[in-house]
Amino acid sequence: MKRECLLEISVENLEAAMAAERGGADRVELCGNLSIGGVTPDTEIIRVVRAQVHIPIFSMIRPRAGDFVYSDAEFSEMRRSINDAKESEMNGVVLGVLRKDRRVDVERARELVEFARPLPVTYHRAFDETIDLRQALDDVIEAGAKRILTSGGAKSALEGAAVLAELIEAAGERIVIVPGAGISSANIAEVARRTRAREFHSGLSAALPYGSHEYKRFEEEVRKLRKKIVRLA
């Protein structure tokens, strides 16, 4: 059976976003400071990228690096950032909140999901920090998110492929599981074969180290991924 596959690329500036679009990305995840895992991008960057990039843009909502247990002040900041994303015509937001016991904070996640409407929410790799991925899957679904970005709890999506396959089967049509972490043109076909995923996320950090300005190379690597995605469909 033919499967339509989607490619999301994480970027932190206009040049990388435009290169991703030229290379054939279906969507970009816009972040600030990817070298620390990505945080909320500046509002000005959001608006500049939105003005010049035509594919969907999901904005990261993460007030700081580190763990995903947030203070009341940080949670309020996340709400403000979601509001900025909506006003800047983002197509979705990416976030995650945990409790101190390393379980999904369903109450707070649901509040953010509802506040973000009509924008869809991707629950990011805070998911991989939980103590029970299957329970976390149900919790994120209960919170109302539309996607989960995950490596299956492993260092890379390829290493976590078996768990990702289990999560995708358990999720069914309730939520989209998006494999991410270490995905490149060299392994995306294998990740796809082993997981049966239909959306994939890559930051291409091996091809374009954080802080690099080799955007032509970045575009070429995105294009390689796109060609592999097309062959999977």
Q: Which two tokens stand for residue 161?
A: 């492929």
Task: Tally Cβ neighbours within 10 Å of residue 94.
Answer: 28
Helix, strand or coil, per DSSP, at residue 104: strand
Task: Please give the share of the chain, as a percent, with pLDDT higher than 70.
Answer: 95
Q: Where are the beta strands (DSSP E) in 71-216?
A: 92-95, 121-123, 147-150, 176-179, 199-202
* pLDDT exceeds 70 at position 141: yes
Structural domains for the chain? 6-226 (3.20.20.380)
Which long-range contacts does 109-112 make (Cβ < 8 Å, 24+ apart)? 109/139, 109/140, 109/143, 109/144, 109/145, 110/142, 110/143, 110/144, 112/61, 112/78, 112/79, 112/82
Band (161; pLDDT cuts 50, 70, 90): very high
* pLDDT exceeds 50 at position 35: yes
Give CA–CA dist 68/125, Å, rounded: 10
Q: Mind listing the pLDDT tens digit for each residue in 178-216?
A: 999 999 999 999 999 999 999 999 999 766 666 667 899
**pTM metric for this prediction:** 0.94
pLDDT of residue 1: 36
* pLDDT exceeds 50 at position 112: yes
Backbone angles phi, psi at 58, to 5 degrees: -105, 130
* pLDDT exceeds 90 at position 173: yes
52-56, 80-84, 216-220: least confident range: 216-220
Band (65; pLDDT cuts 50, 70, 90): very high
